[in-house]
Amino acid sequence: MLPKKVVIIGGGPAALTAAIYLRRGGASATILEKEALGGQIADCPKVDNYPACPSISGLELADKMANQAMELGAEIELDEALSLQKEGGLFSVKGNYGTYTADAVIIANGAKHAHLGVPGEDRLSGRGVSYCAVCDGAFFKNQETVVIGDGNSALQYAILLSSLCKKVTVLTLFDRFFGEESLAKTLSSLQNVEVIHNASTTEFLGENKLEKVLYLDKVGSETKEAPCQGAFIAIGQKPDNDRFRPLVELDKGYIVTDETMATLTPGLYAAGDTRVKKIRQVVTADSDGAIAALSALSYLKNQS
């Protein structure tokens, strides 16, 4: 008998872990990922709290996961899932380059970088405005940059950029950081980093490339500017799951699941940052992926 087919939408830690468990469980696993494998963890300069890997770059960790999945026989398709349907017990995932049929599906597409939505952001995206310091930081060596955000990503971006840039200005919306204390402590020790709290970014200015960031000083109610050649926005994530309606229930855009990662549609599961959950870390994404895969294997067994 041919192995049951499972399509995994997404290529981050949850997806790769699911693929590993599916292959070891005897099911086929096809990963649909429109960009590079690894998801947002691949953009993380350093991961310090992953078990057995006390200090590893996000890209290296992602590569290890991807290699393990592929060595076990997981298939990779560089495609984007545009829509999802179920008919006659089978799922149909329509992509840009083909349609994929599956006995079960795991949605593990993570979430996208959130945008500020202020003037100049879209126009200057790729011309100084960026959402990934790992990807684009080297372009601003010995220049001045701004990091916007107050969580772990913003802290990590600022620390990374401090080793490359002449000056790094960090703008936080509130009066403190909300990331790990150890990261905030490291940042405070860096001589070329200036932190400005209570700063609400209002506009990105520049003709053909970024020249400065305008922000509102919420304490003094005064608009100020931060001259820079690069600005890195790290204000969180936003899900992209409307295309999976009505097969899933959404809560603020995130997919609702039970503890087995099951959605309201039998045979359809969700794992990682794409689903409703309180903690979004690599290790919890791994856990979700493993649970989703084991649940899918159980579902497939019962359908035989």
Q: Is 228 a known active-site residue?
A: no
Q: Is 132 a known active-site residue?
A: yes
Cβ-proximal residues to 165 (8 Å cutoff; 6+ apart), any chain: 137, 140, 141, 142, 143, 144, 145, 192, 230
The closest alpha carbon to 234, from 169, 156, 290, belongs to 156
Q: Position 109: which residue type?
A: N
Cβ-proximal residues to 263 (8 Å cutoff; 6+ apart), any chain: 107, 247, 248, 249, 255, 256, 257, 269, 270
- Residue whose entry in the numeric block shows the structure tokens 């971006």: 157
Q: How many CA atoms within 13 Å lie on the side-chain side of 60?
A: 10
d(CA 30, CA 263): 20
- CA 140 to chain centroid: 23
Q: Is 136 a known active-site residue?
A: yes
Q: Position 52: which residue type?
A: A
State the catalytic residue, choosing from 48, 122, 135, 251: 135
Give the bridge partners for 85, in sequence order.
92
- Residue whose entry in the numeric block shows the structure tokens 């992953």: 50
196 class by beta-carbon count within 10 Å (0-12 exposed, 13-18 middle, 19+ buried): middle
Residue 92, H or E segment: strand 90-95
State the catalytic residue, choosing from 136, 150, 273, 286: 136
Give the bridge partners for 223, in sequence order.
216
d(CA 152, CA 43): 13
State the catalytic residue, choosing from 53, 63, 132, 217: 132
* Catalytic residue positions, numbered: 132, 135-136
